[in-house]
Chain A
Amino acid sequence: EYEIVLPGVSGTALQKNVSVGSPTKVELTCKLDENSNLKNPQVTWKRGSETISHTSKTQNSWTIQLTISDSSQLGSYSCILKGEVEVSATFHLQVPQIEGKERPIITYEGDLAVMVCKTEYAPMAWTWYMTNGTELVAINPSSHTNKFRIKRQSADVNRLEILKLTKEDIGVYWCEAAFRLGSSKRRFELRVLSIMAPLKPFIAVVAEVVILVTTIGLYEVYSKKKGEGEREFDQIEQL
């Protein structure tokens, strides 16, 4: 059910990620673009150094069928087309990854911190860890009801809430999604700032606004007085 179309010219290697959570049958197809110059290439499917035989082939496509039953069968499978030029494409079979970029979470003392993990397919179990030195300690919300809350928003979205933040909560947290064929993790860096941190630029900008408004006001009063003075002078002249 997964396909890559090769253009037939050598360039950057084409890749595709295939998420496999539980044992299943997977079909990988390499298809040659109709407009390519490569004709009747010799096709080999490889995984590392091991060659795999085709399951089926048509005019321009070559397919292998794999039965994934345990984690040792995950990895990178490539099809290599040899002709005048050699082109290849790779399928990366892996456990579903947790979505999201690595970015620090910035919160404030007394506030609430929220970390959300989402996967493509629902895992068997979700676990959250906090780091104690170099160790990963699983978070058990029932033993710290006032501090941690774990909410299951849906089967594939899980959420950790840390309440009443203090500076001691700063550190690295992990969420782990466990699948039959393995697990994937995501890292969160929590930063807790004091209220003073944004207050400094805030006061600076407010001060700038006040200074500017006052300056503009004073300038206007000054130029009005000057204008009135000139007008009186003109009127006196007319007399």
Chain B
Amino acid sequence: MAAPMRNVDEIRDRVILGEFGVRNVHSTDFPGNYPGYDDTWDLRKFKKNFRLDVFHMDENTLEFDMVGIDAAVANAFRRILLAEVPTMAIEKVFIYNNTSIIQDEILAHRLGLIPIKADPRLFEYRNAGDEEGTEIDTIQLQLKIKCTRNPRASKDSSDPKELYKNHMVYSKDITWVPIGNQADVFADAKIGPVHGDILLAQLRPGQELDIVMHCVKGIGKDHAKFSPVATASYRLLPEITLLQTIEGEKAERLKRCFSPGVIELENIDGRRVAKVVNSRLDTCSREVLRHDDLKSLVKLGRVRDHFIFSVESTGILPPDVLVSEAINVLIAKCQKFLNEIDSTEME
């Protein structure tokens, strides 16, 4: 059991999960609030206390810990990941022929939501009012498909897979039409939808789709189709403190109150004693506070400056690239206003 925290340290560093509510949520470590503490912003102190550990990374998900930063900045990164990292998505849909039963606008909406695998850093934003689009800001895609009857189907089959050819329109049927010098610049990059198995429409014989699409660069703030993450979220590290030694049958019940792997029972002098092994796995359901004999024996809280980030990409960019881009967006925002102040000061 850790030594009990001083009251002041607890208010500064912990969010307390009580039975009827969550207390002590806001950060209060500003200069002048606590006598004896120097809370002035100091980059060196920040660099010394800041820690970042990558917990798990594969091609689409990333889980990492940021310790020593405040919620305001961590939340800014999360908001930017969701809404301000640019991607390419289908914006203009030119429908030359659509005889399917899916209405034009529904089909156009579905096409817009398809993630397009093209590195947005290699493209520019389209200028406002530009209808045509140039090779530096537009990707042109085409969907041309016609459903026909299968002459080789047996007479009494009723399975559409056998009876018809091309009756399901998937995103793999979307082809890239390079414009300008894109064929040379993106020779080895396979530009097209990230996933080929997204069902767009269903057809029957005689129905066809002849569609040309333009993709442009945009941000999630404008339309959610431009968001590069399936989701990006963070949670605070849970902290469970046992106020007394808990043994025997109570320890068993305590173990069941938390997520599996959080509390383990170890054998000390023949008695089974509860020990907090890995509080990171806990989902903070506060189940233990529902039991009258257990609720006074534990203290539940969260560490206020330890953020467990989870970023899941839609496949356009790898998740670590997304986080780097998000941090760059915040730096660019600050720089924009600094330049603005400098230019007004020089007048």
Asked if A and B bind, the verdict is no
